[in-house]
Chains A and B, each alone.
Chain A
């Protein structure tokens, strides 16, 4: 299978802190991978680097074989990369419908000036597909954490991506909500979506991923199937200190 994403020798420092250190991993088309590591291991920084929110000090990021480091975030999204945030970041003055609609607005001034605020059927369908059918006209302050996670997922999917980076998608959710979001991710995976999932909830992560990449202090420490990884000595040491 062809490589959808490939990260080579990625390094990012913030002053004296090395957040990501010579990290390399890849993801193949049709694959879902988990990115694991203890708190502060640099998982979100890796996402920020892939999205172009930060510029790496060194290393390369290839998406569908193309080096994307020189492109700004919005160009990378157009290429097919989308993300969700660790802490949901909805537009506080917009309804669920309006929020998802932003992802479907063309990045073209003339089309935008001509286009009104009518919500397309497409937006409604996306909202419904992530389980927000009854909440499309609600504002973020009226939503539960589970709904906010659904909104994050919905608006990422609305950009029509080839790969979605899910950052702590299960954080703050109840067991029932985790099951619902997991079901949603499985459904989208079957539909052909590729995910990289960051999660501390290993039990929720396990059935969703084909492979896991583990990092610690920004460095690659292990890679493989979930069962292999949880019994890996280096991973145990990183997580439990023994």
Chain B
């Protein structure tokens, strides 16, 4: 445990000094990457561990973001007495994600098969349509909400805020993932009936994973929208955003927490640096190519590659200890 935490501390230290060397543009990119990492870890806690694939994560993120944005918004869409300070709207946004998720997603986790995926996808679209079509005078309709107050201003303070949130959620989820809860959740992914037949209430563990996932998605969604200072339903509930999250988790290594965190950074930077070479939506080809590559050749993602390299290196070192040379 202490040894593993040492790697976290090294990671935090390295990330903390990055803004001293990185230009503002890169720092802003790092902020975006940190939030994508939070969303990917949130998705991983539920789908990567349990195998219940969520296609509706933007529902949780969007709901939290909209609640906090709406309640803290000063654009005149709602009566002035409803404008609340951020320290009140942020927890309310997170609570909305948890409550909404519990109400609409969780019941479908009781049944096996693709129902959870389909229901989560359906509710994401339902929320999208509701925001656009119902009470657009409150939600800003298709245009969304502009001029949302920021938690902190400037690239560097936002970077440290995003970094702090990312590491806090990452270490929390990682701790749970490496406990017996993680073992049970992975076993559920492999064969849920067998886990149940060992005296474990699988629904209780799935519910816990979902709760953690929803809290993480809510935290990420709320702070991300306050960072952007606006929210747009077409982006918040888009398939591209959903794919960003899932592909980040997949290329990082599902069911590992650390992998999806790296995946978030990798995807953000590769898409950005491909901008001069692949215009507009052509960049999205990267999703297909990366997705196919990972599924076929490296289903355990970057995390699996790192593990293999580590095992190989340790094997060679053992060889050196035993035989005095590398053969």
Contact stretch, chosen from A13-21, A30-38, A93-101, A177-185: A93-101
Minimal beta-carbon separation of A4 from chain B (angstroms): 18
Contacts A112-B184, A116-B179 hold; do A89 and B191 have CB atoms under 8 A apart?
yes
A107 touches B197 (CB 8 A): no
CA–CA, A31 and B205, complex, Å: 36
A159 touches B198 (CB 8 A): yes
When distances are taken between beta carbons in the complex, the residues of chain B under 8 Å from A91 are: 186-187, 190-191, 194
B201 at the binding interface (Cβ < 8 Å): yes
A61 at the binding interface (Cβ < 8 Å): no
B201 touches A107 (CB 8 A): yes
When distances are taken between beta carbons in the complex, the residues of chain A under 8 Å from B204 are: 107, 109
Contacts A91-B190, A92-B190, A109-B208 hold; do A73 and B197 have CB atoms under 8 A apart?
yes
Q: Inter-chain contact count A-B, CB under 8 Å? A: 84
CA–CA, A166 and B184, complex, Å: 24
A109 touches B1 (CB 8 A): no
CA–CA, A109 and B191, complex, Å: 19
Segment 78-106 of A: residues with Cβ below 8 Å from B: 78, 82-83, 85, 89, 91-94, 98, 101-103, 105
CA–CA, A158 and B176, complex, Å: 24
Main secondary structure of the interface of B (DSSP, over half): helix
Contacts A112-B181, A116-B180 hold; do A82 and B197 have CB atoms under 8 A apart?
yes
Q: How many residues on the A side are at the interface (Cβ–Cβ under 8 A)?
A: 32
When distances are taken between beta carbons in the complex, the residues of chain B under 8 Å from A105 are: 180, 183-184, 200
When distances are taken between beta carbons in the complex, the residues of chain A under 8 Å from B1 are: 116
B193 at the binding interface (Cβ < 8 Å): yes
Minimal beta-carbon separation of A99 from chain B (angstroms): 8
B200 touches A113 (CB 8 A): no
A117 at the binding interface (Cβ < 8 Å): yes
B196 at the binding interface (Cβ < 8 Å): yes
When distances are taken between beta carbons in the complex, the residues of chain B under 8 Å from A122 are: none
Which residue on chain A has the smallest CB distance to residue B199?
A77
Contacts A107-B201, A107-B204 hold; do A112 and B196 have CB atoms under 8 A apart?
no
CA–CA, A115 and B183, complex, Å: 11
CA–CA, A110 and B239, complex, Å: 36
A78 touches B179 (CB 8 A): no
CA–CA, A60 and B205, complex, Å: 29
CA–CA, A116 and B175, complex, Å: 10
When distances are taken between beta carbons in the complex, the residues of chain B under 8 Å from A111 are: 180
B178 at the binding interface (Cβ < 8 Å): yes
Produce 1/0 per residue, B162-189, CB < 8 A to A. 0000000000000110111101101100
Question: Looking at the complex, which one of A53, A114, A116, A159 makes contact with B193 (CB distance below 8 Å)?
Answer: A53
Produce 1/0 per residue, A147-160, CB < 8 A to B. 00000000100110
When distances are taken between beta carbons in the complex, the residues of chain A under 8 Å from B195 are: 102
B202 at the binding interface (Cβ < 8 Å): yes
Known A74-B197, A82-B197, A107-B199; 9 more pairs at CB < 8 Å: A74-B196, A74-B199, A78-B199, A93-B186, A93-B190, A102-B183, A113-B180, A116-B1, A116-B180
Listed in ascending order, the chain B residues whose CB lies under 8 Å from chain A are 1, 175-176, 178-181, 183-184, 186-187, 190-191, 193-202, 204-205, 208
Q: State the 7 A-B residue pairs at the shortest beta-carbon distance, nearest first.
A: A77-B199, A112-B180, A115-B180, A73-B196, A103-B198, A91-B190, A112-B181
